[in-house]
Structure 1
Amino acid sequence: MDKRRTAGDAVPARPAWLLPSGGLPPQRAVVPSSSPPTSGSTSSRYPWLRDELHRMENCVRSARSMIFDLDYLSPGIIRALSVLLDDAVLCSTRSLQAPGLLSTLSDLKEWCRIAVGYAPQGIASHVARFLKACAGSISMGAVCRRHLPYHGAFASITTTMHLPTEDFQGHPLVWIGHADSYLLLAPQHGGRLVRWVHRGQDILYWPDAADWSCPAKVRGGNPLLFPFAGRHFVKGNPGQWRDSQGKVHSLALHGFARDLPFEVSAINGRASIRMTLRDSGATRAGYPFAFVFEAIYALLPDGLEVTLRTINTGTQRLPCYPGHHFYFALPHSQRAAASLALPRTERLRQRSDGSPMCAEPGEPTYRLDDPRLQDALHAFRANPSATLAIPGRKIRFELNQPGSAPWHAVTTWSETETADFYCVEPWVGLPDAIHHGLGLRWIEPGQRESAVCRLRVTSDLLALAKVRSDDEVPPT
């Protein structure tokens, strides 16, 4: 049976990942008239770029001539491959700013497989050559993106994206959600989730007089911990780690992500946002790897889902163990009435040299005024989960999500006994895992890994009403 497509066959639809903003129609590139890019200015500032772009054009030309030389293919297949080639060009253009170049190539391969699924076996070698040409065009886009600063020759070519904002403490923060359930985020300040309101109630703590001159040091919201969560040591010296070749690098507590600006790479104003951090000179100084790190927040009817995705865009495998640092709103006077329930765990702490102390069996439930919780690590020995119960609500951490990297532990911490917050922090690895390996993840070149957690909120209306009435009673 001849499986070739015929001239009347429909061309497969372009995959959704080629459309921005979750499947909306493509938006035109906006080039401000005040400073239009010109080939002359680009070549003069980046003389190597001309040769790279010529190479990309040759790849495209080779692929285009290749498919039209396959005279035994049906017109439908030729048309489908032509569409695919156009998409490859689109991808290479977008790769100047878009994340996930290698995953984009993987998607191209899959779509090509669908497009030629009914073609003769003889096409396989030609498809392989075609994909190689596509890979060439995409890799050239990667070269352009890596070597051109964001405000360089192509900075004026951007995709129009509307970012809904709300003024908060004198700063415009990105707003997603609904009237009484929403998020406020500061992508430019470490991708920080600043405020999470669920059914009218603040779930996270944020100080009224936050120091916005150094947001990374503010106690509140959810700082993103990447590439390593916690403290790391070399010979007792904090803030250092040793790579597999024995070279020592400097890296701050919890990594660098919370100190660097993220880009908003996708947004759905009512449901979700994706923020992206890419490797740069600032990151490679202490972490010499090429990567894309994404934080994806998605509102749920009863809570929030957060995905931390790491993509290896380099040529060597990279180590990582990201984490969260949720500051949950809890008046210190209510700590004795709040609790944390855990599955089977082992409780441990970190020694001054970075190594983990001997673990002891964890309790199934702790009151939050229990001193054993302070700066403690709770390593999971059963399905990872946690339930934080505070007066008026419960927050359940669902950490065993399909396709997610395993969460190794949760950390519990608060700054002082009188702080009006309490931190319950899911971590992929233990502190200093780069040296002892407990929770250390390795991502191969071209691969990606996601760590997904869901936070489900349930409200105790009677308890919440009592808390509110107690708060309204004037002091005697």
Structure 2
Amino acid sequence: MALTEKSAPYAHWEYVHPGSGDRLRIIPERGGLVSEWCCGGREVLYFDQQRYADPSKSIRGGIPVLFPICGNLPDDRLVVNGVAHTLAQHGFARDLPWVLQLLDDQSGIRLSLQSTGQTEAAYPFAFLLEMEVRPVDQALEISTTIHNRSADSMPFSFGLHPYFQVSDLSRTRLTGLADRCLNHLEMAAADTAPQLDRLPQGVDFLCQPNGPVTLIDDATGAQLQLQHQAPFDLSVVWTEPPRPMVCLEPWTGPRQALLSGDRKLVLDPGAQQTLTCRYAVL
């Protein structure tokens, strides 16, 4: 079987690609989380199992999903048609249970999340998210389709927050980023190069598109490349030392895009949009 339920080292579903043998571990009830991705016999993702075991704490690891916002809103407040709603940082998709299915051709898995009364209290729109995750030749392809099931136009942002293992932050590099960025720690424009020098001290910044972005672990020679497709082509870099990981995140829009309108996505009633990205092991 390509998809089986497992109890160790924690409760999850395991998908094994029938051709390559590459493996995914998925925890659908915890935000549709892909917690592990083993590619060519090497685990690519970082996952803190000890922290995960404490449900009162946010997850550190895997590939959390950010929807319907990336980042936070002032006072966690979203106003729609004159009504204020409380919408927490990065939205609610990473906290809710998703439905897991095997793709018909067994090439990967599908995770789906649809609106409920709980979600509409925070974000007053009816929606369906369908995320297909496929291990391909030395890569992971993620394609997400957002459906607007509302009678009104639906604004949103979408992002992924994957954690990647590195051996030593002081010997880690990123190439392909734009020269200028937005430093989230100060919410101010900055040069990118000094931010990259600070990976071991902790960074949080966003770059405009500048082609693929490559994460290089000089201690092991391992390289991982994020290959964007517009409009899913902003790059966010985040480190949290001493954790040996780098988050290299594709976002559609910056923080507070639903307020500023900067790269805000809007779906007409009944419309849908597909966002894709690819992580390649080089």
Same fold (TM over 0.5): yes
- Match runs of 1:271-420 below 5 Å: 271-331=107-167, 334-350=168-184, 356-357=187-188, 359-363=189-193, 366-367=196-197, 369=199, 371=201, 374-380=203-209, 382=210, 384-390=211-217, 391-400=220-229, 405-415=230-240, 417-420=241-244
- What is the distance in 1 between the residues matched to 2:267 and 2:194? 33
What's 1:99 paired with? none
Per the normalisation by structure 1, the TM-score is: 0.54
Q: In the alignment, is the contact (CA less than 8 A) between 2:267 and 2:273 conserved in 1?
A: yes
- Residue number among 89, 92, 97 corresponding to 1:253 in the alignment: 89
TM-superposed CA distance for 1:265, in Å, is: 4.3
- What stretches of structure 1 of length at least 5 have no aligned partner? 1-160, 459-476
- Residue 426 (1) aligns with residue 255 (2): no
SS class of match (1:445): coil
- What stretches of structure 2 of length at least 5 have no aligned partner? none
User: Quick one: structure 1 residues 389 and 431, their matched pair in 2 at CA, closer, same or farther if it must change by over 3 Å?
Assistant: same
- What is the distance in 2 between the residues matched to 1:270 and 1:182? 13
What's 2:11 paired with? 171
- Match runs of 1:111-150 below 5 Å: none
- Which of 1 and 2 has higher RCO (CA within 8 Å, sep 6+)? 2
SS class of match (2:174): strand
- What is the distance in 2 between the residues matched to 1:411 and 1:218? 18
More strand per residue:
2
Query: How much is the aligned-residue C-alpha RMSD, in angstroms?
Result: 2.6
- Residue 436 (1) aligns with residue 260 (2): yes
What's 1:450 paired with? 274
What's 1:37 paired with? none
- What is the distance in 2 between the residues matched to 1:361 and 1:347? 6
Per the normalisation by structure 2, the TM-score is: 0.89
Letter in structure 2 aligned against 1:175: Y
User: Quick one: structure 1 residues 216 and 271, their matched pair in 2 at CA, closer, same or farther if it must change by over 3 Å?
Assistant: farther
Letter in structure 1 aligned against 2:237: T
- What is the distance in 2 between the residues matched to 1:375 and 1:364? 12
More helix per residue:
1
Q: In the alignment, is the contact (CA less than 8 A) between 1:176 and 1:271 conserved in 2?
A: no
Q: Percent identical across equivalent pairs?
A: 27
Letter in structure 2 aligned against 1:385: P
TM-superposed CA distance for 1:366, in Å, is: 3.4
Stretch deviating more after TM superposition (305-314 or 282-291): 305-314
Q: Which has the larger radius of gyration?
A: 1
Measured against aligned partners, the alpha-carbon deviations of 1:26-58 in whole angstroms (never above 9, x if no partner) come to xxxxxxxxxxxxxxxxxxxxxxxxxxxxxxxxx
Measured against aligned partners, the alpha-carbon deviations of 1:109-153 in whole angstroms (never above 9, x if no partner) come to xxxxxxxxxxxxxxxxxxxxxxxxxxxxxxxxxxxxxxxxxxxxx
